[in-house]
Amino acid sequence: MKILVCIKQVADSSDTVQIDVRTGHLFYAANTAFRVNRFDEFALEEALLIKEKLAGTSVDALSVGPERVSATLQRAMGMGADHGIHILDRADGYRSPFTIASLIATRVAVSKYDLILTGVMAEDTMASQTGQLIAALLDLPCATSVIQEEIRPERAEILVQREIEGGSRETVQLKMPAVLTIQPGINSPRYPSFSKVMRARTYAQELIKAEDLATEEPRELCRRVRVPEATSQGVLIEGSAREKARKLISILHEKALLS
């Protein structure tokens, strides 16, 4: 069995992320530290658990981004991934989920993966779209917010439970190959062992330039980013029920919400 886990590198703290007032876009400060998107750590851990259960399973980790992304892949291999794939994308500014999914799908199309796993969302954009778009571009079945899975390799299918509104769960059966977006809480991501970290440093990562991949034109652009305006503070009304009612009516009259 062959599994691909898509991981993203994100800023470790929002304190070092700033908005360029001239362009209206985000940029990183010189002291910005980066790490693996926490939602993707659950996806990677789930892939490693499957690898431990099913003999002959291999796990590849893939990430899109500039040179610094190689450190993220190295950590993934330190956790137990067998191979790292780095799509080198030096483009500045906003990269939409569709653009990232298009790059990943183009690379994945030449390989035969039984499962493709992503985190349910990225901490920075919270778009929750990349996994689904990968599935759509590759014409693969997809289940989102997966909280439990059971692989049936003899039938080439997977039974998953996904979290839906109200805390309920939905059970879905998919034919493999398939794409799953993994929900936090499905497992407890492990720390990389020292021996695997040292060994991962000797592993050569597969490097692919984004411009060498034939992808579709972007379908969305980011015009600008801004900090939300501060909302007005609420008013705490004290007193008895009758006094509170009178004060509330008085406030509504003052704001012309009652005539």
* 6, 146, 185, 216 from 163: Cα distances, Å: 21, 6, 11, 32
Q: If DSSP codes are grouped into helix, strand and coil, which group holds residue 169?
A: strand
**pLDDT recorded at residue 68:** 94
One-character DSSP codes across 115-146: EEEEES--TTT----HHHHHHHHHT--EEEEE
**Domains contained in the chain, CATH given:** 2-212 (3.40.50.620)
- The amino acid at 258: L
Q: With H, G, I as helix, E, B as strand and everything else as coil, classify residue 84.
A: strand
Integer angstrom CA distances of residue 257 from 123, 236, 240: 39, 18, 23
DSSP per-residue codes, 196-250: HHHHHTTSPPEEEEGGGS--PPPS-------PPPPPPPP----S-HHHHHHHHHH
| Phi, psi for 99 (deg, rounded to 5) | -65, -45
pTM for this structure?
A: 0.84
**pLDDT value for 259:** 66
**Other CB atoms within 10 Å distance of the CB of residue 249:** 12
| Residue found by looking up tokens 């990225």 in the block | 122
Which residue is it, tokens 């014409």? 139
| Amino acid found at 222 | C
Spatial strand order in the sheet of 83-88: 169-175, 157-163, 142-152, 178-182, 115-119, 2-6, 58-65, 83-88, 206-209
Tokens 């305006």 -> residue: 229
CA distance 49 to 80: 10
pLDDT at 181: 98
pLDDT of residue 189: 95
Q: Identify the three-state secondary structure at position 153.
A: helix
* Low-confidence stretches of the chain (pLDDT beneath 70): 259
Rounded CA gap, 193 and 190, in Å?
Answer: 9
**Distinct helix (H) and strand (E) counts, the chain:** 6, 13
Residues listed for the chain: 259
